[in-house]
Amino acid sequence: MHHDNHEYDYEKLKEVGKISYEALQYAKGLVKAGASVLEVCEKAEEFIRGKGMVPAFPVNLSINEGAAHYTATINDQLRFSDKDLVKVDLGARSGDVLGDCAVCVDLSGKYGKLIETAEQTLESALSKVRAGAELNSIGREVEQLAKRNGFQPIRNLGGHAIEREELHASIFIPNYDNGDTTKLEEGQVVAIETFITTGEGSVTDSDIVQIFQKTGAASTRSPETRKMAESIDNQYKTYPFAIRWLSKEFASEFGIRKALNELNSFGVIESFPALVERSRGIVAQAEKEVIVEKDSCTVVTK
């Protein structure tokens, strides 16, 4: 394996992948009808911390038509029901090395074919991943299989390259043929993630915004905002965090939002609204993180 062109510590990456996968299996086992969404998020994040790593991003537990970026709110009262399809999406981080993987839990017993399609399209996409593979050819594979099974791929969500320090880096790996003939390179680390839906096949922002990341420095006059900016810099650097995490240190949600709004006005905060399928179709997801090899790929989240 020649990976000179991407400075990556592949051994560390595999450790992070292994812990991410273990956390995913642990979280999956906690998702049951009646279980608290807040508790599952916190326990899964604690699991990662207990392994000597930190969450690469807040644990995402998106339900039914929710596709991504739902993490528990402060004092979240939401509980899973026996009608839910739940996506668990999480990753561990060690230093600047990041994990990312996802799986579905069907509490309804009704979405077997949809979930199976998400898993099949993921495996099918992975079978196309190798140095020189064109991104749209991976997407085409996903789209054809999804449609054959009577579903739609989600067109504005997909996989991504993972650089050191950056979860969503440079390339977008589509779930349909978007015409992008950019080629994968040997040694690249990518997350292949398929999103399949009973709906029309696109996501839109909801009004729930719980996940943010700080992208730069800001000089602010407000001591509250400065204090929070310093805390974010110290604990989360430029990685995503949840309002819920800040609430451990800053008691008032209003105060937290006010400070985030001020940082946002300086252009140094990015927000990640929870995403929902536009036609409110049910969404299934499957995701693994891999290293692109000469003739195939190596899964690291296992």
pLDDT tens-digit series, residues 206-229: 999 999 999 999 888 899 999 999
Single out the catalytic residue among 65, 84, 89, 141.
Answer: 89
Catalytic residue of the set 45, 177, 186, 193: 193
Q: What are phi and psi of 224, to 5 degrees?
A: -65, -50
State the catalytic residue, choosing from 15, 141, 143, 287: 287
Residue 166 pLDDT: 74
Known catalytic membership, residue 180: no
Q: Which of 69, 23, 109, 16 is nearest to 285 (CA)?
A: 69
Residues forming beta bridges with residue 89, ordered by sequence position: 60, 102
Whether 3 has a pLDDT exceeding 60, the answer reads: no
Identical fold between 10-205+279-299 and 209-274: no
User: What class is the 209-274 domain?
Assistant: mainly alpha
- The full set of domain ranges for the chain reads 10-205+279-299, 209-274
Checking if the pLDDT of 5 tops 70, the result is no
What confidence tens digit (pLDDT) does each residue in 254-286 have?
A: 999 999 999 999 999 999 999 999 999 999 999
Q: How confident is the prediction for the chain on average, in pLDDT?
A: 95
| Tens-digit pLDDT profile for residues 95-131 | 999 999 999 999 999 999 999 999 999 999 999 999 9
Residue 130, pLDDT score: 98
Q: Residue length, the chain?
A: 302
Give yes or no: 193 in active site.
Answer: yes
pLDDT digits (tens, 9 = 90+) for 81-94: 999 999 999 999 99
pTM for this entry: 0.95
pLDDT at 74: 96
* CATH 3.20.80.10 is held by the domain 10-205+279-299: no
Residue among 271, 275, 280, 279 nearest 62 (CA): 275
Among residues 84, 160, 186, 277, the one annotated as catalytic is 160
- Among candidate residues 65, 84, 100, 277, the one labeled active-site is 100
Q: Among this protein's residues, is 165 annotated catalytic?
A: no
Q: Please say if 89 is a catalytic residue.
A: yes
Catalytic residue among 168, 185, 224, 270: 168
pLDDT digits (tens, 9 = 90+) for 161-199: 998 877 777 899 999 999 999 999 999 999 999 999 999
Strand pairing class (166-173; 101-106): unpaired
Q: Which amino acid is at 78?
A: L
